[in-house]
Amino acid sequence: MTQLSSSIVAAVSLGLGLALLVVLVRGFRNELKKVPGPWHTLFTDLALKISIITGRRMYYVDSLYKKYGPYVRIAPHEVAVNDPAGFAQIHKIPGFDKSEWYTGLTGLPRQMVFSMTDSKMHAARRRLFARPFSRTFLLQHWHDTIRDMTKFAVHRIHGEAVSAAPSTIAVDVMKWWTFMSTDISGRLMYGHSFGNLETGQATLKLMMMNGKVNGAVNEFPFLKVVGRVLRYLPIPAVQEILCLNEILIEQGRSLLGSVRASDSNSNIFSNIAAEAEKGERTGLDEEDVLIEASGVIIAASDTTAITLTYLVWAVLSRPLLQKALEDEVDRLPDDFGDADLEKLPLLRAVIDETLRLYGAAPGGLPRSVPADGALMHGYFFPGGTTVTTQAWSLHRDPELFPNPLEFSPSRWLNDEVSPAAKKIYHPFGAGARSCLGVNFASMMLRLATAEFFRKCKGAQLASSTTDESMTPENYFLIAPKSHKCEIVLPQAQAQA
């Protein structure tokens, strides 16, 4: 070995040794060392990051609760909380702010309502959305569009299922629900549907993949450099995955002019654009509007589609429940609307139970402890500590939901759900950061579910749809690991 190379080896070893020393000293002085958790989490967040990029975060954290109890250190500055009192403290109004983690998660060039970390800025932005996303506004301006588009989605599912009559053909409902929710959100935000339901082709095929990539880059920022290089490869799929936000923003930009000219009262995009034009007063410029619109389309599409997918799977796995639900919706008048559906007890219970076990965003919701720290469960958490709750575990707490793993809509029908359980039930998030689209999503869920169980009576799971294929993976949202949920219609109906 030359003198030069031995000097390099010595310098590198010294550097590594010093880095290790810093990690060890920080670990031994970690203010969270009294909180139970795996020893390595004093020093590194690697185990957590690996669980995130492999789609297992909610399972990893859940397994730690089982081993260490309701407060677990999961990274040097992060504690997972599975305790109703802690949940209430974190998500009360005003509660703890969102952590910086969200900014990276969206992959957007600016913060938007979903990712804002400053509560005052967030409250001001959220006020802009309040009216267009209210139930009254949706009922007045959007109900009929949503009704027609959910009906068309089910018509397409049914049409594909009967296309090979008299033999049966397996239809992927997850695909059609994704087309439906993407088209409806495009229609509401931009004034134009993406046309997926008409063509049977996805315009944004790789939206879910884009979420995974953003999630991985958020955990390992060096991947950003790799992404910047790869996006120049002339491969459309790679470009869509890496540039989805830019694609959506550019589509929005080209539509902005026509949307401005259209009926500004009934279009969510133009409502917000009109606010943006007030400039200084709202602090919102055109770029913010475009970013918000693309963010909302992403937030609305997979969430609703995944929830509906799990609903169909859960109901079709239980023929007696399926028959009861089919009978309930069969009694509706042909021109039923959302107001009729709100009165259907079983439909509501099925949706509530689906959201309990398979709401689309049941994983960790990280929040930052305020600057002067917080006392929780006898532990003092210094300001800036990340505290995270997850519905996946709280919704499966046997103290709150007896037989928690059983899909049992009757618990909602018979009023068995206690006030304490209702307090921690949060499929749409909690506190000031709860889901902006809850009214919109709920309307889509009700209308699509009622239409499906009226039109596709007797539907069955295809042999490709199993408990295994439907096992959720968790990349912030959940999704069946097979990324599909195939059903078949009975031959008799297919021939009809």
The contact set with ligand HEM (CB under 6 A) reads 113-114, 126, 296, 299-300, 303-304, 307, 359-361, 365, 427-429, 433, 435-437, 440-441
- Residue 180: which of 461, 483, 475, 449 has the closest Cα? 449
Which residue's Cβ has the minimum distance to ligand HEM? Answer: 437
Nearest residue (CB) to ligand HEM, 242 versus 477: 477
Please identify, using beta-carbon distances, which residue of 256 and 441 lies nearer to ligand HEM. 441
Name which of 407 and 428 has its Cβ closer to ligand HEM: 428
When the beta carbons of 118 and 144 are compared against ligand HEM, the nearer one is 118
- Cβ proximity to ligand HEM: between 76 and 427 the closer is 427
Q: How far apart are CA 165 and CA 291, in angstroms?
A: 45
**DSSP label at 56?**
B
Neighbours of 226 (CB within 10 A): 12
Q: Judged by CB, which is closer to ligand HEM: 40, or 127?
A: 127
Give one DSSP letter per residue of 345-369, joined into a string: HHHHHHHHHHHHHH-S--SEEEEE-
CB of 92 to ligand HEM, least distance (A): 14
- Kindly state the greatest CA–CA separation across the chain: 89
Query: How many whole angstroms separate alpha carbon 284 and alpha carbon 288?
Result: 6
Minimum CB distance to ligand HEM, residue 429 (Å)? 3
Q: How far is the CB of 205 from ligand HEM (least distance, A)?
A: 20
CB of 135 to ligand HEM, least distance (A): 13
Q: How far is the CB of 173 from ligand HEM (least distance, A)?
A: 15
Residue 250: name the closest of 291, 210, 279 by CA: 291
**Is the bond into 76 cis (omega within 30 degrees of 0)?**
no
CA–CA separation, 394 and 429 (whole Å):
12
Within 8 A by CB and 6+ apart from 322, the residues are 315, 316, 453, 459
Nearer to ligand HEM, 172 or 302 (CB): 302
Tell me if 435 is assigned to a ligand binding site.
yes
How near is the Cβ of 340 to ligand HEM at its closest, in Å?
20
- How far is it, in rounded angstroms, from Cα 38 to Cα 92? 29
Q: Read off the tokens for 225.
A: 């450099």
Which residue type occupies 248?
L
Hey, which bits of 20-120 come out as E strands?
Answer: 71-75, 78-81, 97-98
What is each CA distance from 165 to 153, 162, 307, in whole angstroms? 20, 5, 29
The nearest distance, CB 12 to ligand HEM, in angstroms, is 41
**Residue for token pair 């007896």:** 402
Binding residues: 435
Binding residues for heme: 435
